[in-house]
Structure 1
Amino acid sequence: MPASTQDPSRHPSQQAPGTTRTPRDLRRWRQYLADERAEAAVYRDLAGRRTGEERAILLALAEAEGRHADHWLALLGPDVGRPRRGDVRTRILALLARRFGSVFVLALAQRAEARSDYATEADATATMAADERIHEEVVRGLATRGRNRISGSFRAAVFGANDGLVSNLALVLGVGASGVAHATVLLTGIAGLLAGALSMAAGEFVSVRSQRELLAASTPDPRAREVLPHLDVDANELALVYRARGMDADEAAEHAREVLEGLDAGGAASRGPGADAPPPVPPDDVDEHEAVGSAVGAAASSFCFFASGALIPVLPYLFGLEGLTAVLVACALVGVALLATGATVGVLSGASPLRRALRQLAIGFGAAGITYVLGLAFGTTIA
């Protein structure tokens, strides 16, 4: 039976005698083998930069990729041939894993797992296809921890860079299209850079600080733990706390009873105020403050990235270019930067880098184009 039509759940050792092994099949199996080995190496490299539970999870993923490699080894048998290298994307991922081991690499690994062909590959087992789907979720979970840690500053950085690129390009093009002198365009661009960077930094600081204060106002007061040992098991308001946080009446009453009985069983009376009692409200799985980030970090990221983004459309004018030449060079530089920021957002969010890059480019050039047309119209009116 040809390999392309055989039962996908059949193990290599269970294949019927006389199975066709075309050169094309052998090349495909060898590439799968090389990719699995390369992915296992990526997870081992990442594990080398982690400790504790994350390290154990990554090593388990490497072991699973090793099982998949064994499948292709058994299928190839004596035709395994010389060791091959993984595909280009896997090799780049391996290089990044050895050099950085960051959330960026985990995001790329998540994308790599999502691209698995095993669901439609006749020579891969159903178990292998299921493994790859689950691996994507495992890596997603690992990457989420890192995304939460950087989300506040990352949001400010992306927003700042994109705003600097688009707003200053629009400002420079709009003023330049009105026909003013080269020195005026340059001065306008530099003023826009400084004013925008300071405004963005101040806005991010106030925004993040306000959000953290709002979250803090909704976070359970740790001092409430101190009074738990003194509550009456039969008549207390602890159940009301749980009901206010979303539990139904019966569930809240049961949970309050379990908490207080647990305190009694542990000899809470001897602990006194400040004892290590269970919190009145179960902790959330995600640290909301961590996801928001720090006000100072967000402000600094916003200032630096806005300034760096706003500098790009001014560069042609700084180097003495004028007129249409300066406009074209500024647009080209900003276009490259918009593609880079969009692709970075796509990678870290687990989405398509190309689609995010093109979306960023279209939005940025759309806004700048409108401003340029208005500048042309304004310049014509003045003339």
Structure 2
Amino acid sequence: MPSRWRHTERHRTDRIGWLRAAVLGANDGIVSTASLVLGVAAASADHSSILLTGVAGLVAGAMSMAAGEYVSVHSQADTEGADLAREQAELDADPAAEHRELSAIYAGRGLDAELSRQVATQLMAHDALGAHARDELGISDTLSARPVQAALASAASFAAGAALPLAVTALVPGPGLIGWVAATSLLFLALLGALAARAGGARMGLGAWRVCFWGALAMAITAGVGALFGAVV
């Protein structure tokens, strides 16, 4: 029998930060770029204008995703930092009250009063702030905000997603462009949704259907607007 117990289970919660940013970025890259291409193509623009629009959408979208993700996740990190600073101040000012608070949390989860006090005592002796951050505030190293990681993942995944319909646009000039871009973009979205669902432990079919539905709706509306304005102009 081994002398030390080893935890061999694999969980997916450590993927939440980068997986959310990557899926969001790739999905937006495919949908927004394909929609731009279809909208401009439906307005009867020439092939070079369509391609230029797609390239501009890729660059602008990647930068926008990176900036937006960094700002939003940094706001979360700032909030977490402020909460941790406040918790540390409370621990310094009145550790006994914080011990009672932590004991009450464990008692509320089903431990008896004496065991709750013992657990709180041992955890606070080991890492008081870490125990309160995890069990009172819900902050952990696994789920904590990482702004730079989220920004880079969003920008890279957006560019990768946008490159797919853009490549189809470059390879298929002519009257068949709209059909090819729409069909291949839906295929790309289905694959993305299935892979994201698999990585997150969800049903692949449901993940594929979800992104395909909203992607098709966005492309249809944008193409309709392009055709309408193209006819007016």
Q: Where on the TM-score scale, by shorter chain, does this alignment land: which range?
A: 0.7 to 0.9
Aligned pairs (5 A) from 1:1-383: 53-55=6-8, 142-144=9-11, 147-219=12-84, 221-222=87-88, 227=92, 238-239=96-97, 242-243=100-101, 247=104, 279=128, 282=132, 284=134, 287-319=139-171, 321-382=172-233
Indicate the RMSD between aligned Cα atoms, in angstroms.
Answer: 3.3
CA distance in 2, matches of 1:278, 1:181: 65
SS of match in other structure, 2:128: coil
Query: For the structure 1 residues 242 and 185, does the alpha-carbon distance in structure 2 shift closer, same or farther, using more than 3 Å as the test?
Result: farther
Query: For the structure 1 residues 164 and 210, does the alpha-carbon distance in structure 2 shift closer, same or farther, using more than 3 Å as the test?
Result: same
CA contact (8 A) 1:312 1:330 kept: no
Query: For the structure 1 residues 242 and 345, does the alpha-carbon distance in structure 2 shift closer, same or farther, using more than 3 Å as the test?
Result: farther
Q: What amino acid maps onto 1:193 in structure 2?
A: L
CA contact (8 A) 1:215 1:288 kept: no
Alpha-carbon deviation of 1:241? 7.1
Alpha-carbon deviation of 1:52? 5.6
Alpha-carbon deviation of 1:242? 4.7
Alpha-carbon deviation of 1:185? 0.7
Query: For the structure 1 residues 323 and 369, does the alpha-carbon distance in structure 2 shift closer, same or farther, using more than 3 Å as the test?
Result: farther
Structure 2 residue ranges without an equivalent (≥5): none
For residues 311-336 of structure 1, what are the alpha-carbon distances to aligned partners after superposition, in whole Å with 9 as ceiling and x for unaligned?
111113323x3243122221222122
SS of match in other structure, 2:48: helix
Alpha-carbon deviation of 1:287? 4.7
In terms of Rg, which structure is larger? Answer: 1
For residues 199-248 of structure 1, what are the alpha-carbon distances to aligned partners after superposition, in whole Å with 9 as ceiling and x for unaligned?
101111111111112112222645766x58xxxxxxx67326755x7949
Structure 1 residue ranges without an equivalent (≥5): 1-50, 56-141, 229-235, 264-274
Query: For the structure 1 residues 293 and 150, does the alpha-carbon distance in structure 2 shift closer, same or farther, using more than 3 Å as the test?
Result: farther
Alpha-carbon deviation of 1:282? 4.1
SS of match in other structure, 1:291: coil
CA distance in 2, matches of 1:294, 1:283: 16
For residues 180-214 of structure 1, what are the alpha-carbon distances to aligned partners after superposition, in whole Å with 9 as ceiling and x for unaligned?
11111111000000000001011111111111121
For residues 135-163 of structure 1, what are the alpha-carbon distances to aligned partners after superposition, in whole Å with 9 as ceiling and x for unaligned?
xxxxxxx343xx22221111100000000
CA contact (8 A) 1:169 1:310 kept: yes
For residues 315-366 of structure 1, what are the alpha-carbon distances to aligned partners after superposition, in whole Å with 9 as ceiling and x for unaligned?
13323x3243122221222122111111122223332201210221111011
TM-score in terms of structure 1 length: 0.50
Q: What amino acid maps onto 1:279 in structure 2?
A: A
CA distance in 1, matches of 2:5, 2:33: 46
Residue identity (%): 32
TM-score in terms of structure 2 length: 0.79
Query: For the structure 1 residues 294 and 277, does the alpha-carbon distance in structure 2 shift closer, same or farther, using more than 3 Å as the test?
Result: closer
SS of match in other structure, 2:166: helix
CA contact (8 A) 1:215 1:289 kept: no
CA contact (8 A) 2:182 2:219 kept: no
Query: For the structure 1 residues 188 and 313, does the alpha-carbon distance in structure 2 shift closer, same or farther, using more than 3 Å as the test?
Result: same
Q: What amino acid maps onto 1:340 in structure 2?
A: L
Query: For the structure 1 residues 292 and 330, does the alpha-carbon distance in structure 2 shift closer, same or farther, using more than 3 Å as the test?
Result: farther
Query: For the structure 1 residues 164 and 282, does the alpha-carbon distance in structure 2 shift closer, same or farther, using more than 3 Å as the test?
Result: same
